[in-house]
Every structure is written in structure tokens, then in C-alpha cells.
Amino acid sequence: MTTLAVPNKGRLKEPSIRLLRDAGLDFEVTDRALSVSVRNVELELMFVRTDDIPELVHDGAADAGITGIDLLEEHGDGLPRLVELGYGRCRLAAAVPNVSPIATLEDLTGCRIATAHPRTTEAYFRRAGIDVHVVSLRGSVEVAPKIGVADAIVDLVSTGSTLRVNGLREVGTILESQAVLVAAPGAADRVEVRRIATALRAVVDGRTKRYLLLNAPTEATERIASLIPGLEAPTVVPLAEEGWVAIHSVVDAAELWALLPRLEEAGGKGILVSPIERLVP
């Protein structure tokens, strides 16, 4: 039986469960159960701590797992990353007290940097040729400068509000992170694991796209097609009414704000935009 390790608490739990359900898996989550069988697919979900997942997958206790890129960098030992999942976005950033004269990562030369991500931090500054002293802490990293154990910190940031509350200012990013599907060593090419990757990627890709449908006078087809940066050339179908066509395409959700008025100006009528449940290009 194939086993997928899934976060059992914290920030990645709910979005991971939603993704698996959106991908079509039918399962129950209880507070106690560590392992849950999926009803409609030969798959076992193992609910465990997000930060244990790199190691469990590395040891082969699970064939694949969902965790954060930051945790993989820290504990993951080069596990194959199959799909970036688009949630749990954050960055590992260096920050200093507001009053500090430090303005760039280079200025951190010779500084003591407190972090719960010592491996990633050491590796980054070594690669960058910046000589720093890393102080490894388990938690409350943001108070380290206040109590005098460090000059700067490296910590996970998403909005930056925790830094601001603690009187800290960001000076640079050392890693961009998001949730990711990883495979156990040697498991990435197994058909069951490839199927998990395909199913999740289809949902993740669908979330950033929309299905676009509109009617237009035939002579506007080229003008409209040139506006649509679709997945492929748009589908153009003649309508029952002479001189009119329907145009279908898949577009980036992020582009619709600018695209819709331009389509209307180009002669588009009856413009419809729908969500895409899954997308396999």
C-alpha cells in the first residue's frame, strides 16, 4: 500500500486536506488517527507533524509527503520535489533591530545570527561568502536581539507583521518557501507516486487558471485571439447566427482584471469566466 505523509496540525494542515479532497480523495480526518485509509483509492494517509515529514519520507516510512520547502532545506537531504503546491508561502528572511545600521545581507559580516534554521542559514551565508556566526535556537527567535544573544535573526516571514511587532526590519531573503510534494528516495518514478503527483498538480494548476468563453463577430476573431495568452491557440467555433463565433480558452486568473475590458473593447460579447477544477496540459 502506498503511503502519503500529511501535516496533522499547523498552517499546512487545512490547505493540504483541502487539496487532497479537491483532487478527489475521499477520507475522514479524526483527531486521534495517525493513519487513515482513503476510501476510493489504494492510498494510506499518514497524519504527522509537518517538520517530521522530511525525515519520515527520507527513511521510507512514507512513499511521499507534503511539507514546506524550508523544512526540506533544513532536514530533507535532497529528496525529490515533485510538485510545488502553491500554499504555505513564506520566506526565510534576515532581520535586524530597527535601530541597527545594517542595511543589506553583506552588512551582516561578523554578526551573530539567531535562527531555528541553522543548516539553511549556514549554507546560504557560506555560499554567499559572508562570514557570520549562527546561533541555533528552537523558538522565540525574534527576541534574540532584544536579550543580546544575537545581532540579527533569520526567521520565516509571510506578512512581516511579527517582525514589526518585535521592532525588527527585514534586510534580505535567503529562501522562498511554499508547501511541496516530495517523494522518498527512489520512489519518484513509481507509478503510484507519479499518479499522486499528477492528481495534485492538476488541482494546483487549475486553481491559477480560468476557463474563458465569449462570442464575437467573425471579423474580430484575430484581434481577440491576439489578446488571449491561452494555454494553446483558442478554440473558435462558428455560431448558428451567421457572422458570429464562440471563442474558448484557458487564461491565467491573474490576467483577467486587465483582459476582460480589452476583450469587450475588441468586440467580445456574452463573456463567461468559470473556475477550472483540474488541468492536465
The residue ranges that bind ligand AMP (CB under 6 A) are: 9-12, 50, 68, 70-71, 88, 90, 156, 158, 177
Query: How many angstroms separate the CA atoms of 147 and 149, rounded?
Result: 6
Q: Which has the closest alpha carbon to 197: 207, 189, 185?
A: 189
In the bound complex, what is the minimum distance in angstroms from residue 89's beta carbon to ligand AMP? 6
Task: Please say which residue, 160 or 230, places its beta carbon nearer to ligand AMP.
Answer: 160
Task: Please say which residue, 3 or 16, places its beta carbon nearer to ligand AMP.
Answer: 16
Cα–Cα distances in Å, from 236 out to 95, 128, 223?
53, 52, 13
In the bound complex, what is the minimum distance in angstroms from residue 193's beta carbon to ligand AMP? 21
Long-range contacts formed by 103-109: CB under 8 A, 24+ apart: 103/171, 104/171, 104/172, 105/130, 105/171, 105/172, 105/174, 106/130, 107/171, 108/132, 108/151, 108/152, 108/171
Task: Please say which residue, 122 or 192, places its beta carbon nearer to ligand AMP.
Answer: 122
Return the HEC string of 88-152.
CCEEEEEEEECCCCCCCCHHHCCCEEEECCHHHHHHHHHHHCCCCEEEECCCCHHHCCCCCCCCE
In the bound complex, what is the minimum distance in angstroms from residue 251's beta carbon to ligand AMP? 28
In the bound complex, what is the minimum distance in angstroms from residue 139's beta carbon to ligand AMP? 10
Query: How many angstroms separate the CA atoms of 166 and 157, rounded?
Result: 13
In the bound complex, what is the minimum distance in angstroms from residue 10's beta carbon to ligand AMP? 2
Task: Please say which residue, 177 or 215, places its beta carbon nearer to ligand AMP.
Answer: 177
In the bound complex, what is the minimum distance in angstroms from residue 75's beta carbon to ligand AMP? 10
**Chain centroid, CA 165 distance in Å:** 26
Task: Please say which residue, 95 or 250, places its beta carbon nearer to ligand AMP.
Answer: 95
Helix (H, G, I), strand (E, B) or coil at 68: strand
Task: Please say which residue, 68 or 234, places its beta carbon nearer to ligand AMP.
Answer: 68
